[in-house]
Chains A and B, each alone.
Chain A
Amino acid sequence: MKEFDSGHNIPAGDPDKLGIDRRCFMKMGALFAGGVAALGPVIGCTDSKQRIRLPGRLEKDGTVIVRAGCPAHNCGGRCVLKLFLKEGEIVRIETDDRVGDDIADPQLRACIRGRAYRRRQYHPDRLKYPMKRTGKRGEGKFERITWTEALDMMASELHRIKKTHGNSAILVPYGTGSYNQTNGRQTAARLMNLYGGSLGFYNSYSWACISRATPYVYGTGVTGNQRQDWVNSRYIIMWGWNPAEMRDGTNSEYFLKKARDRGARIICIDPRMSMSATALADEWIPIRPGTDAALMSAMAYVIISEELHDKDFITRCCVGFDKSQMPEGLEGEESYRDYIFGTHDKVPKTPEWAEAITGIPKNTIIRIAREYGSIKPAMLYQGYGMQRRAYGEQPVLGGCVLAAITGNVGISGGWASGIALQADDGGPFWNIFPTGRNPVSAAIPVFLWTEAILRGKEMGPEEGVIGTDRLDNNIKLIWCVASNILINQHADTNRTAEILKDESLVEFIAVQDQFMTPSAKYADLVMPVCTQFEMWGLEDGWKYGDEVILMPKVLEPPDETKSDYQIAAELAERLGLKEEYTLGRNERDWIEWAVKYYRNTRFPDIPDLEKLHEMNRGVYTRPVHEPRVALRDFRSDPGKYPLNTPSGKVEVFSKTLFEMNKPETIPAVPKYIQEWESPFGEESRKYPLQAIGHHYMPRVHSTHDGIDWLEEAFPQRVFINPLDAQAREIRDGDQVMVYNDRGKIMIPCRITSKIMPGVVNIPQGAWWMPDEEGIDRRGNVNVLTSHRWTPLAFGNAQHTMMVEVSKP
């Protein structure tokens, strides 16, 4: 689901294709020899293997301790939970307790969400039965049906849509609820691919711009060193990066702490004094949202003026830095240096210039530029919030270029910026469950699915469509698995809801989830899924993949819940695809397959599933003693190890971007571009406050919303600066209305000095709960966000919006 289409390929490790594992091979052979008739008994016998069999010893009081992965939501981490099971119930949850917690192989300590998981697991609102819609779509009225009815309905709708419109009218949307192999949207994707395909998409909601833009500079997304190398850094800029809250791989916050202990100076540039700014940084530098590229430019101005740039690296390894380095035929065009010093536009990007835009005092800008330019090695790590914005490509490119001109590329303790997937193999594989090839070649940028509902047939390359000139369908059927994107997580909720309500547009919507989410309310068919404790699974790291984590089945699925895999498998049977889909495997068999996959790729010594389960450590790791450094070879010999860019070098000026011929929105060198909703624009008269919606500690997006222990610790509210509150006569804790032309939400406020004046923050992911007047009472920030996309990556810009706050 995460997009690594730029330079990162999952290594081919499919045990089926490699035929390495004999047992597996023979079983396959038997399967195909016996044909369909043989399937029944095979499945029967494998199913019995799925009976819960717990490792570990029975304690006196009847508890058994099992170590397992924390359910693999899209949470920013991957941790080990120590489950205390008693009489078929989880009675306590602790975390990784492997001895010797060192940085080569640190404990994977769970966060608050993992520790509170019991409250989600045993939540009274969990879905129990399949249901079909009775009222109007979106009204939330449902009646219980049987699984037979549900799956028949699903199969016949798929059949009907495929027949009347074709496979490209089917969408299995973005959904990040599960990165476990046997639960999650990939199970549906596999089936659809066998069924003739569905509309493809690329990109992610997470990092459309950063994953798209980084390769224009480096030719790859693998620009990050292994994290153990962070302790070698002397200066670290956490640029819009908040690992203490969003983790960015379990232990990222801990590695940073270690780096600071070792003497690194750390600063944090963020409109909010984030948890990371508080706990990890020596200094917090608040910045007006959406102006990072201006700060970067001014830093470059100082660095270059004061000759702090790494001339040797620039000469050897970069192109487009100044006139002397411009690509052939473009010598007269604006180089990076030209832009910074205003040679063409007559605006030198001085600290004064940036002060007015960013709100950061010019002396601070000069100081941090000098620090970053002179302290070596230094790390500029970019968070993803600032690229989830209008022109989000620019700060990404700007960061990459700053890292390059200071020569922090390809060295230990340095950091090349960009998406920074981990050297040398790009980090985790996320889902390895084989979804197969999608026979529908057309794909849209993930964020544009509402467009493809409204006017898919008009969409072409100018809106990012690939694989075809024009889409041949509008989206007519949505099968939404492990996702709350339909309503909650996509931008402009009220607009999306209107689109989905119209049954003549999307004709059928099925949602598979554990709760009646806002998206599920818009379904025609709701199918209840078991949690990831209730089925075999396996996961690897989030962004950094130094481990595989086992998720044994420890509980029986309650009521009529089923795993996503099982639902897909039963549907496959109705579509006549059962053998192809399951290959005779149940969930546990697939996990066995997955373990082999890891053996064939990253962890040659990993024991087999049975052994792993017996070991009961929860995780298999490979300690990192000598962290790998990205782009090291390239740095040492750019001629011998060229980058995958047109010039083979670091492209400070990108000819490819230049040739797109959209200099206003897609410049060839990174530039500050005023956002389409900005405090400097007309719109700010009506809506003077910038709003952002950061990723909140108590939730994984919308997952975990409404879990009492988490809500108690971190209630939903809007954060507002005392000066802005005062001007509106708002007191701490007041219910306030936050609104713009797109919608209104009413929630309590928290007045805090830890956010810049002029900026408010409504943590993203709260469930949309409109009242009769359509005012959201829970505080889903997407009521206020815009569905406009970024120019180059066609990415979501959900952090860019202007609002007003008032007492109701």
Chain B
Amino acid sequence: MKQLAFYFDASSCSGCKTCQVACKDKHDSPLAVRWRRVYEVCGGDWVKDGPAWIPNIYSYHMSLACNHCQEPVCLDACPNKAMVKDEKGVVHIDYDRCMGCKYCEYTCPYGALQFDKHKKVMTKCNFCADYLAEGKPPSCVAACPMRALDYGELEELERRHGKQNEIFPLPKEKYTKPAIVITPHRDVRKPGTHELQIANKEEVKK
């Protein structure tokens, strides 16, 4: 089966959020609806050493949309069968079937599901399906000033960049088998328990 995927280069993402706004503009998303969001990861502490400060500080960014997972928990969770996975592997929401119960929002471990209170339905990244159909790159990918975003067939991306999809703050892949490939930032620590946290809650949550 075909499976489209995103590539994200965490080692060079600046957290500028151009991708986030490019997406908002493309899809006319209102405030608080961020199909692509940029998480700021931060951890570590300062150590005083005589007159000097030693910064044991780690930080990087994670730009995330929907990972169009191979085992999408959202799709299984939805009572209305409002979610569909198309032949390219892209997971869509059928606005005509969604009743806005927000249940799926509980399940997606990537924060991809974004309720639109004006449309009264759950929404999320649709991989810019119209652009794909025209052979154009998704809006966010074409936007990134750092060229830190790309897209393509999952297998192809994995071949090019290696198979990395459990970079903090992402969960273990076992939950959904996400279609994403990441180049980690130098400051990434092994997933699991660690002192890294998402620092910009107010910017990514409602």
Q: Is A753 positioned at the interface, with any CB of B under 8 Å from its CB?
A: yes
Chain A interface, number of residues (Cβ within 8 angstroms): 54
Q: Is B1 positioned at the interface, with any CB of A under 8 Å from its CB?
A: no
Query: In the complex, are the beta carbons of A715 and B12 less than 8 A apart?
Result: no
- A698 closest partner in B (C-beta): B17
A110 neighbours in B (Cβ, 8 Å): 18, 143, 145
The main secondary structure of chain B at its interface with chain A is mixed
Query: In the complex, are the beta carbons of A712 and B32 less than 8 A apart?
Result: yes
Which B28-82 residues have C-beta < 8 A from chain A?
31-32, 38, 42-46, 48-55, 57, 59-61
Query: In the complex, are the beta carbons of B20 and A280 less than 8 A apart?
Result: no
Q: Is B170 positioned at the interface, with any CB of A under 8 Å from its CB?
A: no
Which A72-96 residues have C-beta < 8 A from chain B?
92-95
B101 neighbours in A (Cβ, 8 Å): none
Query: In the complex, are the beta carbons of B203 and A714 less than 8 A apart?
Result: yes
B185 neighbours in A (Cβ, 8 Å): 278
Query: In the complex, are the beta carbons of A752 and B42 less than 8 A apart?
Result: yes
Nearest-Cβ distance from residue A125 to partner chain B, whole angstroms? 17
Instruction: Give the complex CA separation of A708 and B34 in angstroms.
Output: 13
B14 neighbours in A (Cβ, 8 Å): 244-245, 253, 275-276, 278-280
- B60 closest partner in A (C-beta): A278
Q: Is B125 positioned at the interface, with any CB of A under 8 Å from its CB?
A: no
Nearest-Cβ distance from residue A309 to partner chain B, whole angstroms? 26
B139 neighbours in A (Cβ, 8 Å): 94
Q: Is B132 positioned at the interface, with any CB of A under 8 Å from its CB?
A: no
Query: In the complex, are the beta carbons of A361 and B49 less than 8 A apart?
Result: yes
Q: Is A471 positioned at the interface, with any CB of B under 8 Å from its CB?
A: no
Query: In the complex, are the beta carbons of A254 and B203 less than 8 A apart?
Result: no
Instruction: Give the complex CA separation of A757 and B54 in angstroms.
Output: 10
- A96 closest partner in B (C-beta): B142
Query: In the complex, are the beta carbons of B17 and A112 less than 8 A apart?
Result: yes
Query: In the complex, are the beta carbons of B146 and A254 less than 8 A apart?
Result: yes
Interface stretch, picked from A352-360, A438-446, A472-480, A648-656, is A352-360
Q: Is B16 positioned at the interface, with any CB of A under 8 Å from its CB?
A: yes
Q: Is A257 positioned at the interface, with any CB of B under 8 Å from its CB?
A: yes
Instruction: Give the complex CA separation of A286 and B56 in angstroms.
Output: 11
Nearest-Cβ distance from residue A695 to partner chain B, whole angstroms? 13
Query: In the complex, are the beta carbons of A713 and B57 less than 8 A apart?
Result: no
Q: Is A273 positioned at the interface, with any CB of B under 8 Å from its CB?
A: yes
A361 neighbours in B (Cβ, 8 Å): 49, 52-54
Known: A115-B18, A721-B46. A279 touches B203 (CB 8 A): no
Q: Is B24 positioned at the interface, with any CB of A under 8 Å from its CB?
A: yes
Q: Is B117 positioned at the interface, with any CB of A under 8 Å from its CB?
A: no
Query: In the complex, are the beta carbons of A359 and B21 less than 8 A apart?
Result: no
Residue-wise, chain B 135-163 has the 8 Å CB interface mask toward A (1 for contact) of 00001001111110000000000000000
Q: Is A754 positioned at the interface, with any CB of B under 8 Å from its CB?
A: yes
A112 neighbours in B (Cβ, 8 Å): 16-18, 20-21
Residue-wise, chain B 8-24 has the 8 Å CB interface mask toward A (1 for contact) of 00011111111011101
Q: Is B102 positioned at the interface, with any CB of A under 8 Å from its CB?
A: no
Instruction: Give the complex CA separation of A712 and B17 in angstroms.
Output: 11
Query: In the complex, are the beta carbons of B52 and A362 less than 8 A apart?
Result: yes
- A261 closest partner in B (C-beta): B12
B22 neighbours in A (Cβ, 8 Å): 94-95, 115
Q: Is A709 positioned at the interface, with any CB of B under 8 Å from its CB?
A: yes
Q: Is A491 positioned at the interface, with any CB of B under 8 Å from its CB?
A: no
Q: Is B99 positioned at the interface, with any CB of A under 8 Å from its CB?
A: no
B145's partner among A111, A260, A723 (CB-CB below 8 A) is A111
Which of A109, A279, A756 counts the most chain B CB atoms within 10 A? A279
Query: In the complex, are the beta carbons of A109 and B202 less than 8 A apart?
Result: no
Chain B interface, number of residues (Cβ within 8 angstroms): 46
Instruction: Give the complex CA separation of A276 and B14 in angstroms.
Output: 7
B202's partner among A92, A279, A715, A753 (CB-CB below 8 A) is A715
Q: Is A118 positioned at the interface, with any CB of B under 8 Å from its CB?
A: yes
Known: A92-B25, A715-B202. A753 touches B51 (CB 8 A): no
Instruction: Give the complex CA separation of A102 and B199 in angstroms.
Output: 34
Query: In the complex, are the beta carbons of A115 and B143 less than 8 A apart?
Result: yes
Query: In the complex, are the beta carbons of A713 and B25 less than 8 A apart?
Result: no
Known: A253-B146, A278-B61. A359 touches B202 (CB 8 A): no
A734 neighbours in B (Cβ, 8 Å): none
Query: In the complex, are the beta carbons of A753 and B146 less than 8 A apart?
Result: no
Query: In the complex, are the beta carbons of B31 and A754 less than 8 A apart?
Result: no
A95 neighbours in B (Cβ, 8 Å): 22, 142-143
A251 neighbours in B (Cβ, 8 Å): 145
Nearest-Cβ distance from residue A61 to partner chain B, whole angstroms? 11
A753's partner among B26, B50, B57 (CB-CB below 8 A) is B57
A722 neighbours in B (Cβ, 8 Å): 45-46
Which of A115, A709, A721 counts the most chain B CB atoms within 10 A? A115
- A359 closest partner in B (C-beta): B53
- B144 closest partner in A (C-beta): A109
- A90 closest partner in B (C-beta): B25
Query: In the complex, are the beta carbons of A115 and B21 less than 8 A apart?
Result: yes
A355's partner among B50, B144, B146 (CB-CB below 8 A) is B50
Query: In the complex, are the beta carbons of A754 and B24 less than 8 A apart?
Result: no
Residue-wise, chain A 205-228 has the 8 Å CB interface mask toward B (1 for contact) of 000000000000000000000000
- A117 closest partner in B (C-beta): B25
Instruction: Give the complex CA separation of A697 and B21 in angstroms.
Output: 13
- B30 closest partner in A (C-beta): A708
Residue-wise, chain A 258-279 has the 8 Å CB interface mask toward B (1 for contact) of 0010000000000001011011
Which of A93, A715, A754 counts the most chain B CB atoms within 10 A? A754
Instruction: Give the complex CA separation of A697 and B200 in angstroms.
Output: 15
Which of A109, A286, A355, A715 counts the most chain B CB atoms within 10 A? A109
With A355-B50, A712-B31, A752-B199 given, name 5 new contacts (CB 8 A). A109-B143, A112-B20, A115-B22, A278-B60, A709-B21
Q: Which B positions have Cβ atoms within 8 angstroms of A?
A: 11-18, 20-22, 24-26, 31-32, 38, 42-46, 48-55, 57, 59-61, 139, 142-147, 185-186, 199, 202-203
A-B pairs with lowest CB-CB distance, top 4:
A279-B14, A244-B14, A361-B52, A356-B51
**19 A/B residue pairs, CB under 8 Å, sorted by A:** A94-B22, A95-B142, A95-B143, A109-B18, A110-B145, A112-B17, A112-B20, A115-B21, A275-B16, A278-B61, A279-B61, A282-B186, A284-B57, A355-B51, A360-B53, A714-B17, A750-B202, A752-B199, A757-B48
